[in-house]
């Protein structure tokens, strides 16, 4: 059963650590435009919901989320808050080492933003070398590609497109503004071409990757996403406990 780290007093945390409650789950996102129809905190809100749903079977603390991250090509849109990769890397490193010094052995990251990946990798490697803490990162949309194919019949889904819109519908339907959706904001990801800033705030992975607003289909998809992540984490922690740190 997961516990909310931020609501505990330190003696409660120490008592649970003494009982072997030594895993913490950290949701990570960024603050940036997600089409005209999704909230700017989408990349954090989805990992927060995934973390919340892990509470039934994963014995871990749920840490306060990290909302801000490395935003680059969408920083021209109002509400997008860019953090430099160097600042973000150092910030993550301090957090990881802090958890290790408190007595945590496993840090599970639920990441919602592709721009964070390089910083997470660098911070995790540095933290492991410094504090010998085990860090597992889950990029939820990458891990879920097979489920995207099964539920939506496309191979790849991009930014603020079909999969993210579905995940947000399942997370909090009231935050998805179908009335603001504008197809003119869609831009197609093409290998070999990039530009700053982006020409639209919906970046499609392929031709059929336009957002849809079927709430029930979205919930079915996201339920499977969360169950798959739960199984993955349980398996990884079990295997990790049988190997040296």
Cβ neighbours of residue 94 closer than 8 Å, sequence gap 6 or more = none
Distance CA 184, CA 76 (A): 17
At residue 1 the predicted structure's pLDDT band, cuts being 50, 70 and 90, is low
What is the model's pLDDT at position 58? Answer: 87
Query: Can you list the domains of the chain with their CATH numbers?
Result: 3-237 (3.40.50.10310)
Name the phi and psi angles at 210, rounded to 5: -85, 145
Work out the average pLDDT over 63-81: 95
How many Cα atoms are found within 13 Å in the side-chain-facing hemisphere of 203? 18
Query: pLDDT tens for residues 150-190?
Result: 999 999 999 999 999 999 999 999 999 999 999 999 999 88
At residue 215 the predicted structure's pLDDT band, cuts being 50, 70 and 90, is very high
Please give the structure tokens belonging to residue 180: 């603001």
What is the model's pLDDT at position 3? Answer: 81
Asked whether the beta carbons of 228 and 181 are under 8 A apart, the reply is: no
Read off the DSSP letter of residue 67. -
Read off the DSSP letter of residue 138. E
Please give the structure tokens belonging to residue 11: 């003696």
Work out the average pLDDT over 192-199: 87
What is the model's pLDDT at position 197? Answer: 86
What is the model's pLDDT at position 13? Answer: 95
Read off the DSSP letter of residue 201. S
At residue 57 the predicted structure's pLDDT band, cuts being 50, 70 and 90, is confident
Distance CA 60, CA 5 (A): 9
Asked whether the beta carbons of 112 and 27 are under 8 A apart, the reply is: yes
For tokens 């390089």, the residue is 118
Helix (H) or strand (E) holding 108: strand 106-111
Residue 160, phi-psi category: left (phi > 0), alpha (psi -120 to 50), beta (remainder): left
Predicted model pTM: 0.96
Give 20 or 128, the one with higher predicted confidence.
128
Query: pLDDT tens for residues 90-106?
Result: 999 999 999 999 999 99
Is the bond leading into 102 cis (omega within 30 degrees of zero)? no
């Amino acid at each position: 059963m997961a516990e909310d780290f931020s609501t505990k007093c330190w003696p409660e945390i120490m008592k649970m650590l003494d009982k072997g409650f030594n895993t913490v789950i950290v949701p990570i996102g960024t603050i940036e435009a997600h089409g005209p129809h999704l909230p700017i905190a989408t990349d954090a809100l989805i990992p927060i919901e995934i973390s919340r749903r892990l509470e039934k079977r994963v014995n871990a603390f749920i840490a306060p989320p990290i909302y801000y991250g490395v935003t680059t090509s969408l920083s021209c849109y109002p509400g997008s808050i860019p953090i430099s990769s160097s600042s973000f890397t150092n910030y993550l490193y301090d957090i990881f080492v802090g958890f290790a010094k408190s007595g945590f052995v496993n840090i599970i990251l639920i990441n919602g933003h592709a721009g964070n990946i390089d910083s997470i990798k660098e911070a995790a490697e540095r933290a492991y070398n410094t504090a010998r803490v085990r860090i597992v990162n889950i990029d939820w949309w990458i891990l879920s590609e097979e489920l995207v194919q099964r539920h939506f019949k496309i191979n790849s889904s991009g930014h603020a497109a079909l999969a993210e819109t579905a995940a947000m519908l399942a997370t909090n339907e009231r935050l998805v503004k179908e009335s603001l959706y504008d197809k003119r904001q869609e831009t197609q990801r093409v290998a070999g071409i990039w530009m700053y800033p982006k020409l639209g705030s919906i970046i499609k992975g392929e031709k059929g990757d336009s957002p849809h607003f079927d709430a029930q289909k979205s919930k079915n998809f996201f339920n499977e996403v969360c169950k798959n992540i739960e199984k993955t984490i349980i398996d990884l922690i079990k295997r990790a406990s049988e190997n040296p740190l």
